[in-house]
Structures are given as structure tokens and as C-alpha cells.
Amino acid sequence: MDLKKEIKRRRTFAIISHPDAGKTTLTEKLLLYGGAIQTAGAVKSNKIKKTTTSDFMEIENQRGISVATSVMAFDFNDIRVNILDTPGHKDFAEDTYRTLTAVDSVILVIDCVKGVEEQTRKLMEVCRMRHTPVMIFINKLDREGIHPYDLLDELEKELKIAVCPYTWPIGMGRQFKGVYNLYNTEVNIYAPEKNYVADSLLKTKDINHPELKSFIGEESLKVLWDEIEFIKNMFESFNIDLYRDGYVAPLFFGSALNNFGVLELLETFLQIAPCPGEITASERVVNPYEEQLTGFVFKIHANLDPNHRDRIAFMRICSGKFERNKFYFHTRAEKKMRFSSPTSFMANNKNIVDEAFPGDVVGLYDADTFKIGDTLSEGEMIHFKGVPSFSPEILREVVNRDPFKTKQLEKGVRQLTDEGVAQLFLQQPGNRKIIGTVGELQYEVIKFRLEHEYGAKCTFSQLPFVKASWLTTDDKKALDDFMLRKSSAVAFDKEDNPVFFAESEWMLRTVKEAFPTITFHSTSDFKLGKK
């Protein structure tokens, strides 16, 4: 296949939001329009009525939330669409941040009732740092929420990005009838449809269409034209270059649950969203059109299929063409590998692929070889940036509740922490296992998965630490002295790098002043390029 043609027809993006904004529901409706699924489940009152396609872990089904990034792909109008549906919950933000390194653009979902929320701001900060193009979908217009005018103002102030309305809602709450496309000047009136592709009751460019008034009412029609005139006068025309540089966000309104406004979002996304572009590695900038393959692992998942105890590394292809059964170079391990069963995904359904191109996400069956951030190439020693581990904010010791299942516990803890949702530290004497996370819910997920996937039971005991810092220095004597004096607060990560646990920010500042030749790192970025 022609490499340039394949790259130009790919769109790889993440759907991000604060919890419960409707992100997973929107993902399903996009899959529905793409023909990837035939009927959608409904997310209602935070309980899964029918298991949503992209939430496949058992705990996700029980809790009604996403706790792991799902990868899905489908073709629509000859465009290959790769969707990464991310966890919304703040306790799993690290998984979302890593996922943002593997996409070319983002759709940000906002609940029109709640407006901009805490996690929305944090996610937008990451997008701004990376200049990731963002489209915004204002969801749940079938409920009475914040007026669209006020939402526009709030979005620009809170997210620090210019917004450009692309569609406009016709009514709100019970009066929500459809959307008006400001760019092709088309009215689209829908019939609510939760499980299938929504039918248009009326689709017209004629503002005097005789049926229009009967569908939405004379007064509502007058309000609509007044609002459209106001929007046209107040906002600049859409600029695709400013959008792709991350300075302007096109704005869409709709109801993912009822299928209003989703098709307009999808069709516009395919027209304006960027295809795979350049990605910065530590050594150089990688162009997707290069013939030599490069790619990096941004996610690892154990037991995607509990019946087979498989472990899959998710690799984003950055350049060249990936081919099944071809040998590639693992740059950290410095060894050649080949893959007989690389897979593409539809949530937990997998299909073997013979080839894949930049922008695609390929699943590689892995026997404990890969780590988050690992790179494959065709011989070049290259390392991609931006997949660090963050300093955990909560640290707890693993306590084994079933000594007869010690081996299962050891394996489970190691494999689950390899996925990157938590970090494992070992402390001597006694080989104490300490797990660090950024949120409480991660411990619940780890405990659940250890019991249900590995048959091991554990509890987590509280520790007095609030911060973990990686240590590096050229002064070996100072490091030895530090580790002797602070032995009760020093452990090692899985790569045997020393880590210091501080009981407070004040304690961390104190030891930094006392040991000026030692550097205390808040992320594992320093390990990039390290074997």
C-alpha cells in the first residue's frame, strides 16, 4: 500500500472529559455511525444498563466508570478512525496523560449542566502544553443547563482557548430539537434515538421551509435566527491553521445519549482534524513519511482476555510501515523482536493485522519484555519523549492475606504496576512492596483485579509519606551517606533506581538543602534513554 495515501487517510484522537460528562456514550455513538457496532448501550445514573462497548473490565461494568484507556478503530467515508477513549476519573489521570502522547488531536466533552469542571481544566492544560488540536462537544443539551452564550464565555475564561461555534443548538432541555450547522447553513431536526443511528425528521438549508415552524414553533424559530445572527457577529470565522496549532477550538452542541449533533461532529472532524504528523524523540524529530518504522509503547494491559492471561503492549506507530512477522529493534533492551499475532482493537475484541501505518495503534503480545515508553525501530537507537511516570501522592504497603498465594500476588502486583496506573517500589530488608498512586480509587481497582484475575488477596497499609522523588547524583559518597541515614524512607523502583519518600513538603525541602549534590526528580523523565 502507498504510505503517503495511508497516512493522509488516518485520524487518531482521544476523547477526554471530566467524569460523567458522557465521553463513553459519545464514543459509542461515533462507533455506531461508523458501522463498527449495531446498537449502543445506555449509561444512566452512573450504572451500566447495557455494558458499553469501550468499558470492558469487570470493575468498570460494576462501577459504571472507565478506569483504563480503550482503543477502537473503524473506517468511515474511506477514513481510518482510531479512537482512544480515556478514563475521566482524576485517579486515573496518568493513564489519560500518557494517552495524549499517542494522539494527533482531541475531542473534549463538556456537560452543559455542569460546565467546566476540575478535571476538564487539567486535561486542557496538558493539551495546551503539547499544542494538541482540540474540538469541544457540549453534551446533554436534552437537559436544562447553562445557556450556550454563558458556556462560550466560561470556556474561553476557564480553558484559556478561543472557541468558534461550528454548530448551534435549537432549543435546550425538553425543547431541544436539533442543531444548526453554521458552516453549511443547514438545519437538522432529529427524532431522539438512544440505541441506533438517529433519523433526521427534517434536514434543510431553506430557513423558510414550511415544516420548520411546525417542528420547533414560531417563537423558538425567531430565537434561533436571533442567536445565529449574534454568533456570526461576535465570533471570527473558523481558521483551520489556528485550530491545528491548538489556539482555536471548534465548538459543537448535542446530546450523545439521544444521538443529536453527533454526525455533524464526526463529519467535521474527518474534514479538519490533522492526519499523523511529526513526533519529537530525544534524539531528533521523526517524520511519519520516513520509510523506516518507529513506534513507542504508551500503554500495557495484562489479562485483556482473562481466559488466556495475555499481556498486551499498545504501540503507536510514528513512521514507516509495521509488518507482521518482521524483525524490529527494541531500543531499551537492545534486541531484535518479531510479532506473529499483532492485533487491532474494537474495545476487547481483537483482530490480527498484517500491516499498520503511522497513527495506528497496534497491540503486541508481550512476555514481560515491554515497559511504558519503550521504542521499536528498524535498528536506530531512538527514544520518544513524553511518557514519564509521575511522583505518586499516596504510598501504601501491600499486605498479603493468603500466604499460599504468594507467587500469584507477586506476579499480579508486578504485571498490574507494569501497566502504569500505579508504581511499585521495593524496600529492604524484607522485600517490602510499596505501591504508589495519584488517587485512592486505584487501590480499589488493584485489589479487585488481584483477587479476580490472579486469585490473590491483599490489603494496603497506610504509610506516612506524601511524596516520592527519584534520586540521581555523581557524588556516590553523598548518595551512600544519604541512603544510610534515611534508610527507612528509601526504596527502589522496578529498574533499581533509588527513590526517597518524604513525609511532607517541608521534609523534602530540608533534605534537598542538606544534600545539595543529590538531585530529587518529581518524574521519571531522567530515565529516558537509559538502558
280 in Cβ contact with 269 (< 8 Å): no
Q: Are residues 370 and 403 in the same domain?
A: no
Identify the bridge partners of residue 115 per DSSP, sorted by sequence position: 111
Cell representation of residue 41: 448501550
Same domain, 90 and 229: yes
Same domain, 194 and 54: yes
Looking at the fold, whether 96 and 237 belong to one and the same domain comes out as: yes
CB atoms < 10 A from the CB of 419, how many? 19
Same domain (yes/no): 283, 264: no
Grid coordinates representing 204? 434543510
Q: Are residues 267 and 298 in the same domain?
A: no
This prediction has a pTM of 0.79
Residue 14 shares a structural domain with residue 76? yes
Which candidate, 411, 389, 146, 344, places its Cα nearest to that of 253?
A: 146
User: Is 382 a member of any domain?
Assistant: no
CA torsion 474→476→480→485, rounded to 10°?
-50
192 and 51 in one domain?
A: yes
Whether 388 is covered by a domain: the verdict is: no
**Phi/psi of residue 364, each to 5°?**
-115, 120
Q: What is the CATH number of the domain that holds 457?
A: 3.30.70.3280
Can you give the pLDDT of all 531 residues of the chain as single tens digits? Answer: 689 999 999 999 999 888 888 888 898 888 888 777 666 553 333 333 334 444 444 544 444 444 345 678 888 889 999 998 776 445 455 667 778 889 999 999 999 999 998 878 888 888 888 889 999 999 999 999 999 999 999 999 999 999 999 999 998 998 888 899 998 888 888 877 666 566 677 888 877 787 888 888 888 888 888 998 889 888 888 999 999 999 999 999 999 988 889 999 999 999 999 999 999 898 999 999 999 999 999 888 876 555 656 788 889 999 999 999 999 999 999 999 999 989 886 644 668 889 999 999 999 988 778 888 899 999 999 988 766 667 788 899 999 999 999 999 998 898 888 877 788 999 988 889 999 987 787 898 889 889 988 899 999 999 999 889 999 999 999 999 999 999 999 999 988 899 999 999 999 999 999 999 999 988 776 554 443
Domain holding 512, by residue range, is 394-527
Residue 383 lies in a domain: no
Cell triple for 508: 523534602
Report yes or no: 146 and 195 within 8 Å, Cβ to Cβ.
Answer: no
Residue 24 · residue 61 · CB < 8 Å = no
CB 392 within 8 A of CB 423: yes
Whether 437 is covered by a domain: the verdict is yes
Is 202 part of any domain? yes
Are 234 and 355 in the same domain? Answer: no
Last residue of a domain, one of 255, 272, 289: 272
Does residue 385 lie in a domain region? no
- The number of domains in the chain is 3
Is 386 part of any domain? no
Whether 219 and 246 map to the same domain: the answer is yes
- CATH number of the domain at 306, please: 3.40.50.300
Residues 35 and 163 in one domain: yes
Nearest-angstrom CA–CA distance, 155 and 136 = 10
Identify the residue whose cell numbers are 436539533. 178
Query: Based on the domain organization, do 455 and 430 belong to the same domain?
Result: yes
Closest to 463 in 3D by CA, of 498, 427, 495, 430: 427
Boundary of a domain, candidates 272, 290, 308: 272
Question: Given 253, 272, 291, which residue is the final one in a domain?
Answer: 272
